[in-house]
A = this chain, B = another copy of it.
Amino acid sequence: MNDHPVAVKAILFDVFGTVVDWRGSVIRELTDLGERQGIAADWGAFADRWRAGYHGGMRSVFDRQRRWLKADRMHYERLQKLAPEFGLGSLSAEDLEQLNRVWHRLAPWPGAREGLGRLKQNYTIGTLSNGDTALLVNMARNADLPWDVILGAEDFKSYKPDPAVYLGAVERLGHQPHEVMMAAAHLDDLQHAKECGLRTAFIVRPDEFGDGSAKPDLVAVEPVDVEASDFVDLAAKMGA
């Protein structure tokens, strides 16, 4: 915990996993869809491989194999491959499009909305996500997340952890890096933000990966400015 949290003017939030429970939300929609279609499958594995496609898509852009891509597009490409493998090969393009938008409908973690509402009283609050703008806007409308500003990969045509994303967001807010705090459940995201001069808030989300093979970050191995169990706890620790 730093000594002067009041010097922070804005808090930017990683979204997938930090604000919303992507895995639980995706599994719920797939389970419902499977029941309607009379199909049973390992929907947790589907969700994990779908998510992995997003990381793979960003990597192909970093490696300059492709130009910048919206998350929506990466999700759709992976979905087209995964659906037949999991017995959903008969879905129409329209059905797939509708399913792909589950990423616009992800549910927030408990306390996220309340914590953001409190933080917004004292700080500018915004996203800083690799998701595209439309996805983040639709998610906020659907989940009633009271962002002051939606910032993300699409603003800078790059992805975290490119410093251009962290520093670009700071510049867009008209602040200095030390006046902006990055809040995330992922220590690598925080480490990169810290290297750009931002403050850091680590939110522990032990359930992000459920029973999947990926493991959540539970302990800050490098110092962070604030560590919180959820957004309500973060608000309290930030004096909001």
Interface: A196 (CB within 8 A): no
Q: Which residue of B lies closest to A133 (CB)?
A: B172
Q: Given A124-B141, A141-B124, A155-B155, are A149 and B172 also a contact pair (CB < 8 Å)?
A: no
Q: Are A174 and B134 in contact (CB under 8 A)?
A: yes
Chain B residues with CB below 8 A from A70, complex form: 174
Residue of B nearest to A151 (CB): B133
Q: Chain A, 135-165, contact with B by CB distance < 8 Å: what is the 0/1 string?
A: 1011011000000111000110000000000
**A148 contacts B140, C-beta separation under 8 Å:** yes
Is there contact, CB below 8 Å, between A173 and B134? yes
A77 at the B interface (CB under 8 A): no
Residue pair B148, A141 in contact (C-beta under 8 Å): yes
> With A149-B150, A174-B72 in contact, do A137 and B155 touch (Cβ < 8 Å)?
no
Q: Are B124 and A137 in contact (CB under 8 A)?
A: yes
Please report which residues of chain A, range 63-102, place their CB below 8 angstroms from some CB of chain B when the two chains form the complex.
70, 72
Say whether, besides A72-B174, A124-B141, A174-B72, A133 and B154 are in contact (CB < 8 Å). no
22 contacts between A and B (CB under 8 A): A70-B174, A72-B174, A124-B137, A124-B138, A124-B141, A132-B172, A132-B174, A133-B149, A133-B172, A133-B173, A134-B172, A134-B175, A137-B148, A137-B149, A137-B173, A140-B148, A141-B148, A148-B150, A149-B150, A150-B150, A154-B172, A155-B155
Of all chain B residues, the one with the shortest Cβ separation from A10 is: B137
How far, in angstroms, from A140 to B148 measured CA to CA in the complex?
A: 8
